[in-house]
Structure 1
Amino acid sequence: MVSRVIPVETFDLVIFGGTGDLARRKILPGLFRRFRSGQMPEGSRIIGAARSDLDQAGYRQMIADAVAEFGGEEKKDSKGLDAFIETLDYVAIDAKGDGGWAKLAEIVRKDVVQAFYFSVAPSLFGDLAERLHTNNIANEQSRIVVEKPFGRDLETARALNETLATHFDESQIYRIDHYLGKETVQNLMAVRFGNMLFEPLWNNHYVDHIQVTVAETVGVGGRGAYYDKSGAMRDMVQNHLMQLLCLIAMEPPSQFGADEVRDEKLKVIRALQPVEPHHIVRGQYDAGPNGPSYREDAENARSFTESFIAMKCEIANWRWAGVPFYLRTGKRMKARSSEITVVFKDLGHSIFEGDEARHRNILSIRLQPNEGMDLQVTIKEPGPGGMRLIDVPLDMTFADALGPDAEEVPDAYERLIMDVIRGNQTLFMRGDEVEAAWRWTDPLINGWEARNDVPKLYDAGSAGPEDALAMMHRDGRRWREIKA
């Protein structure tokens, strides 16, 4: 079944790092799905650019193999894949030199939408931006897509923003965070601002606390060198969890526009209070039956880098004063699960007694796996024997609710790339957002480094360090169970 789509203009998309892991695993298979759904107008092209010495035929074969390996059901469409492969071209290019740029200038057209995806290390962003202009390839309507990390602290984030701003206006820069492309994340805004049921309750009068959990079962194997310089705070909290927090907590924008939405997100970041040391728990996974320890994965026997972090945050504004936000993320956890949980307050007065009085409404928004949401409500247990109350979920799992259409829900990357082509920046971070997030994050990192803080060991396959559970227990609360 073909999805209903908003037409896009004919485009040339250049993917720097077009032979890399991200391009092969996510970007190109995702674009093939959009091609099959009719979102690539006739004449649109995808141009891979990388150091590899390939010709057009070699690159096309590489991407055909990538779709066969990483694609879903769509890879069975051999006829469609053959047509998609015909849209691909390739240029072997030297990001820091002159090689390949003249050829790229000949290939990229001036009369279609131009988008340049920087799927490379941030250290190359400036070189690519400069050469796109010195070779007269980019213009005032061109768009560039940049991947995280957006710096590793406030100073480097500012420098990166200044580098990009030398050649591109902020309206041309798309900082991509794939979490914001998830269907459920966008549905969070629809639930909040499209339903009279929720928005009147979305404040400190009715919400007891909010939890954001992003748990992964994988370790850092293969990424140890990068992760040991990053850690969970830089890799996950400063961007992914921060963006989820902003969407949960922001005020209603005046309209659903890019700057209006991002203005409200920025206000949330600026209202975040400093986090006290006893409200932060850092952890590092230990060796277990199913795999090595973090230090073995990172090949650093003395590493104090965190693979887990939990913290209690507070937002100093009228809507959220007194409502704690608990953030938690970690690797080698018991299950792969990303979930936002809104726990509503107890009734002001219950007519029921004992255990029957202790029931709460809980809204759970699942980002992965099994995207969807459910609202826990209290009902009478069917049958005789008096008033026995039980909690049941009103479930909206997308795969169940949408049936066969659920298969057509775009992956996060393909959705966001199509937004770039449309010129829609709503789900992309603005430069001042990135800097504000680092301005809040830096003191936390500097604080535990100054204290020589050592992360707590936790068993691989667990829910994290016991200290994280204790942090919640001190507040009379508990984490939601991590389950797939």
Structure 2
Amino acid sequence: MVSRVIPVDPFDLVIFGATGDLAQRKILPGLYRRFHAGQMPQGARIIGAARSAMEPEAFREQVRKAIAEFVDRSKIDAKDVETFLECIDYVPVDAMGEGGWAELKDKVQDGRVHAFYFSVAPSLFGPLAERLNEHGIADSEARIVVEKPFGRDLASAKALNATLAAHFEESQIYRIDHYLGKETVQNLMAVRFANILFEPLWNAQYVDHVQITVAETVGVGGRGAYYDKSGAMRDMVQNHLMQLLCLIAMEPPYHFDPDAVRDEKVKVIRALQPVSPADIVRGQYAGVKASETRAAQPGYLEDSENPDSRTESYIALKVHVANWRWQGTPFYLRTGKKLRGRASEIAITFKAPPHSIFDEEDASWPENVLVIRLQPNEGMNLKVMIKEPGPGGMRLVQVPLDMSFAEALGEEGTDIPDAYERLIMDVIRGNQTLFMRGDEVEAAWAWTDPIIAGWEARGDRPRSYDPGSSGPEDALMLMHRDGRRWREIRE
């Protein structure tokens, strides 16, 4: 199978915070990969902007090093790298002042797509939006890309939306969540809405429960001070896991259109029931003392440099969507750091057949499960029951119908663009389907805020859990009391 690469129109992309970690690790290497693939036209220009006083040539050297470090060697072509670097420019800009804005305006060309990527702290979103308009750099067709966190509660999200709306139309604002750029996430919509096989079964009558897991093996590390002000609920559940939940639970949109898709996602968020304290488990990873077989590891309290921290590095929730399609079907969400393995997956567990025609000992079969793997090894897996080969009666065994992109699509399947690559190209095309709308962000915070306020008012402390485990024991009980089990997190 040969994948099609459709070039985009010539553009000017200004990256604010271009010397920062995200730009150097993801955005600039991703743009090179799109150039190498033939999607980014040679007439395109990428203008780095940051506080650092730096000549354009010095910035190009930074980009060259970022490509060497973060791009697979098989994609690095010396001629392509040099041609790509010719597209790169740099302007020192003071986001809070007036320095550099006139120079930036001179570099942005008329008659092409203009996009401005705010790879900066949220406190700078407003000043950047204001100055882009004050200096006449952004026109009515310009697009701005803003990174999470988009607020830390409903009030701050509303204030940020209002600030951006004062300078840009909603159709110009691209709130980026890189999870929505993953190939498998988009394939989830194709599986649901392009095949008659699943959609008739995609409801409470046939689905027993849904598990959404995002597990990480790393701790908070150097982000400890920042992370301690957010925690897993704000950092992961309110955005990433919420988006995955919406794609699973949403109704079919009337058309694959940005607003049609986002309308249905907002309906899901607004249908979420309040979560009982009994259906929430929070945890913090503990430290490990040195031994003959294991090196010492700091715990969350050490990493956050806050010995009295009540911020969670792990959270599990049982959630219900109060509508006709999903009434009574629980959605179990969990995410955490320093767990046993690195995995992001959605598992839809279907109900058992209503009656067994086979021997009594075979009546308690494992359920059919559709697993969508986001990482690692993106793909889908459907577990079904078949007869075990051989004589001696009807013995049933569960086997996977497995589709990994690498195996199903051959070499093309291994060359899956990074989420940031796809999303930036969607910005250039003007396609907002995979970006969050303002009312969607606010609806998510309106559901999240009471949950956070509840445990803060109760003074709840997170449960301690061992690094390399599956999380706190209480999270296991969250499932066990319902007669269910979490899927194993593999190393």
| Pair in the same fold by TM > 0.5 | yes
Corresponding residue number in structure 2 for 1:13: 13
How do 1:391-430 and structure 2 match up within 5 A? Answer: 391-430=398-437
1:356 & 1:85 partners in 2: Cα distance?
A: 64
Structure 1 window deviating more from structure 2 (284-293 vs 176-185): it is 284-293
2 CA distance for matches of 1:355 and 1:429? Answer: 49
2:332 to 326, 329, 349: 326
**Equivalent residue number for residue 221 of structure 1:** 221
Provide the residue aligned with 1:281 in structure 2. 281
Residues 112-191 of structure 1: matches in 2 within 5 Å?
A: 112-191=112-191
Post-superposition CA distance 1:333-384 (Å, at most 9, x none): 0000001000000101011234422221100000000000110000011111
Q: Secondary structure at the match of 1:377?
A: strand
- The whole-number CA distance in structure 2 between the counterparts of 1:3 and 1:74 is 18
- How many angstroms does 1:6 deviate by? 2.5
For the residues of structure 2 that align with 1:74 and 1:305, how far apart are their CA atoms? 42
TM-score (structure 1 length as normaliser)? 0.99
Taking structure 2 as the reference length, what is the TM-score of the superposition?
Answer: 0.97
Contact 2:47/2:90 (<8 A) preserved: yes
Q: Which residue of 2 aligns with 1:459?
A: 466
1:399-419 CA-to-partner distances (Å, cap 9, x unmatched) read 111111023321000000000
> Counterpart of 2:291?
none
How far does the alpha carbon of each residue in 1:141-194 deviate from its partner, in whole angstroms, 9 at most, with x for none?
Answer: 000000000000000000000010010000000000000000000000000001
In the TM superposition, 1:260-339 aligns within 5 A as 260-288=260-288, 289=294, 291-339=297-345
Query: Could you tell me which residue of structure 2 aligns to residue 443 of structure 1?
Result: 450
Q: Which moved more, 1:12-21 or 1:73-82?
A: 73-82
- Tell me, which stretches of 5 or more residues in structure 1 are unaligned? none
Distance in 1 separating the partners of 2:359 and 2:306: 56
Count of aligned pairs: 484
* Contact kept in structure 1, 2:405 and 2:414, CA below 8 Å: no
Q: CA RMSD in A?
A: 1.1
Match among 380, 393, 397 for residue 387 of structure 2: 380
Answering whether residue 246 of structure 2 is matched by residue 240 of structure 1, we say no
**CA apart distance, 1:78:** 1.3
1:315 is aligned with what amino acid? V
Counterpart secondary structure, 1:251: coil
Equivalent of residue 478 in structure 1, options 462, 481, 485: 485
Paired residue for 1:46? 46
In the aligned structure 2, how far is the partner of 1:243 from the partner of 1:189?
Answer: 12
Q: Deviation per CA, 1:287-343, whole angstroms, max 9, x where unpaired? A: 124521001111111111000000000010000000000000000000000010000
8 Å Cα contact 1:12/1:114 also seen in 2: yes
Contact preservation (8 Å) 2:118, 2:144: yes
Q: From the superposition, tell whether residues 302 and 253 of structure 1 become closer, same or farther in structure 2 (CA, over 3 Å).
A: same
Following the alignment from structure 2 to structure 1, what is the Cα–Cα distance between the partners of residues 358 and 336? 39
CA distance in 1, matches of 2:21, 2:62: 12
Structure 1 residue 79 displacement after superposition: 1.3
Distance 2:17 2:312 in 1: 29
For structure 2, the residue ranges without an aligned partner over 5 or more in a row are: 289-293
* Separation in structure 2 between the aligned mates of residue 221 and residue 96 of structure 1, nearest angstrom: 30
Task: Write the distance in 2 (CA, Å) between the matches of 1:172 and 1:6.
Answer: 22
SS state at 1:140 partner: coil
1:71 and 1:336 map into 2 onto residues whose CA distance is 21
